[in-house]
Amino acid sequence: MAGQFLAEYLRLSVEDGDVILNDAKAESDSISHQRELIARYVRDKGICPAAQPLEFVDDGYSGTNFDRPAVKEMLSMVREGKICCIIVKDISRFGRNYLEVGDYLEQIFPFMGVRFIAINDGYDSNDYIGTTGGIEIAFKSLLYDMYSKDLSEKMRSSLMVRRKRGDFIGPRAPFGYQFSDNKKFLAVDKTATEYVKRIFGLACEGCKTGEIAKILNKEKIPTPGNYKNREKPQYHIIDGEGYWNSSKVRKVLQNKVYLGMVVNGKMRVTEIGGSHFRQVVEEEQICVPDRHEAIITEQEFWQASKVLKNNGCQKGKKHVSGHESVLLGKLRCGHCGRSLIRLGHRKEPCFTCKKAMYEDSSECIREHVSEAKLEAAVLEDLNQKLEEWILEEGHRKREDSRTAPDGRQRKSPEEIHLSLSTKKRKRLSMELEQGRDAVKIEKQYLYEQYKRNQIGREAYIKKIEALREEERRLCEQLQRLQEESGKDAEECEIQQEETEQYEKLGSLAKDVVEQWIDNIYVYGESRIDIIYKGKINKSKKSIKNC
């Protein structure tokens, strides 16, 4: 048990918790209660005193599946043999899926030698070694499963009532609004409202989404994510460096919430207790008008919609290119680190940084770097690195082949006088075999003399020892000669493989790029940094001119 951990697992579902009702709380009260209960039980019962306690917490995750970060980490450590015991408040904290929980309790944990304790259920797997937990534990697991599904159905029905009533269900207020005191209604955020009006005003003037984004960045208007982080730091919304782009502008212009309307039911879970969602078509969404103060008029909204249609970027429309670059997903801006976008509609496809398109003050690359030039530069550098790597690997293999199993360096061919031609080696091998056979014959003749009392015992032992020493010496020489011949054949094979691999790549392929290249940082037409994966180049960086 030394070096193993005692896993203390704590979980609370969103529907049971109180964190979501209070943004200032770090964790729910029930998690704290579970922690105290487990700590007291471990202390009073002396559970696994030699093991180090390790806590795993899933606060706000459903128990109907095992797609939870903390439980995944814990089960990964179980597979690695690092956990000797798991302790929970009750079985439902570990999981509510009857079949999966049963597999772990009856199959996986016993096989891995992991003890499982559910305090409130009075279950300790040490009491059931060689057997299952009995009908009581199985029935409880089934009840937890049924309860969870029933609760999910009731919550879904309750949410549907709130949606049809027009309550705002989302966790955060849309850009331009803030929550009222009871969080069921939206109230106008005076500062952000002016930003929203500015966006719709520019759209009504005929500006395209890209032009609007440039203007907003120039005027230093914060993006929705940055604005929310500034007002409510506890949200920690990830929004990059916070610059406007076409998609952010389009999202504002398409949102009917600015008409005073609440739109609910945009996403729907695929199955009860599941974590996968699908988008609901607009006709099936629940729209309730006049639920809060409108920021814009219907005329402004529909006029802005016309701009979106004329912009060629309608909602749900995808631009599909007939060719996908082999470098797509590997190219990044050398200044901001964002992935470069491919402009494939041009006569000559090229790459550029999206941020530079919307922010004039950005240091990101503004020129359009030719796709053909990038691929040619990467191909040339990759061929060079592969050749260097192959030579290094060949040298390493030859060095390894000269190392004896006991770690000592074998003598070189010159040192053991075996740097001979193939014909000389064969002749020497034949002579050694003949000498060894002659010694065997001599030993047999000496033994016959001893049996006929033609030689005394002491003389026989002395001569036979000398012959055995001579035979051992000849056998060692013969073995060294054979090993050296085999080593030469192996080196010839390695050199043949290297020669075959020296053939340079004629063009780049997606699988080759994925195998050898991690990222490519582009600084412009004159410089790129190629970061290779560790198995080819430990120095990581290589600069080539495009």
Secondary structure (3-state) at 6: strand
Helix (H) or strand (E) run with residue 58 in it: strand 52-59
Q: Based on the fold, state whether residues 57 and 145 are members of the same structural domain.
A: yes
Q: Based on the fold, state whether residues 24 and 115 are members of the same structural domain.
A: yes
CATH number at residue 192: 3.90.1750
Determine which of 208-212, 478-482, 516-520 has the lowest per-residue pLDDT on average.
Answer: 478-482
Asked whether residue 171 is assigned to any structural domain, the reply reads no
Q: Based on the fold, state whether residues 390 and 419 are members of the same structural domain.
A: no
**Confidence band, pLDDT 50/70/90 cuts, at residue 397:** low
Secondary structure (3-state) at 492: helix
Asked whether residue 170 is assigned to any structural domain, the reply reads no
**CB-based burial of residue 491 (10 Å sphere; 0-12 exposed, 13-18 middle, 19+ buried)?**
middle
Res 89 pLDDT > 80: yes
Q: Based on the fold, state whether residues 327 and 417 are members of the same structural domain.
A: no
pLDDT score recorded for residue 54: 94
Asked whether residue 396 is assigned to any structural domain, the reply reads yes
Q: Based on the fold, state whether residues 369 and 496 are members of the same structural domain.
A: no
- Among 310, 332, 363, identify where a domain stops: 310
Report yes or no: 130 and 124 within 8 Å, Cβ to Cβ: no
Q: Could you tell me whether strands 286-288 and 262-264 are parallel, antiparallel, or unpaired per DSSP bridges?
A: antiparallel
Q: Based on the fold, state whether residues 201 and 273 are members of the same structural domain.
A: yes
**Confidence band, pLDDT 50/70/90 cuts, at residue 122:** confident
Asked whether residue 446 is assigned to any structural domain, the reply reads yes
Determine which of 41-45, 60-64, 145-149, 199-203 has the lowest per-residue pLDDT on average.
Answer: 145-149
Asked whether residue 214 is assigned to any structural domain, the reply reads yes
Q: Based on the fold, state whether residues 452 and 367 are members of the same structural domain.
A: no
Q: Based on the fold, state whether residues 268 and 119 are members of the same structural domain.
A: no
Asked whether residue 169 is assigned to any structural domain, the reply reads no
Asked whether residue 167 is assigned to any structural domain, the reply reads no
Q: How many domains does the structure of the chain reveal? A: 4
Q: Based on the fold, state whether residues 144 and 249 are members of the same structural domain.
A: no
pLDDT score recorded for residue 412: 45
| DSSP secondary structure code for residue 222 in this structure | P
Other Cβ atoms closer than 10 A to 126: 10
Q: Which whole-number Å values give the CA distances from 66 to 15, 95, 98, 273, 274, in the listed order?
A: 17, 7, 12, 11, 10
Please give the sequence-ordered ranges of beta strands (E in DSSP) within 346-448, or none if there are none: 350-352, 369-370
pLDDT score recorded for residue 26: 46
pLDDT score recorded for residue 292: 87
Q: Based on the fold, state whether residues 212 and 118 are members of the same structural domain.
A: no
Asked whether residue 459 is assigned to any structural domain, the reply reads yes
Average pLDDT over residues 450-472: 84
Instruction: Write down the pTM of the prediction.
Output: 0.49
Q: Which whole-number Å values give the CA distances from 94 to 47, 66, 258, 426, in the listed order?
A: 19, 9, 43, 71
Res 384 pLDDT > 70: yes
Q: What is the pLDDT of residues 303-346, one digit of tens each?
A: 888 877 766 544 444 444 556 788 888 888 888 888 888 887 77
Structure tokens that stand for 467 in this block: 């012959």
Supply the range of the domain harboring residue 193: 177-310
Q: Based on the fold, state whether residues 347 and 201 are members of the same structural domain.
A: no
Q: Based on the fold, state whether residues 301 and 449 are members of the same structural domain.
A: no
Res 173 pLDDT > 60: yes
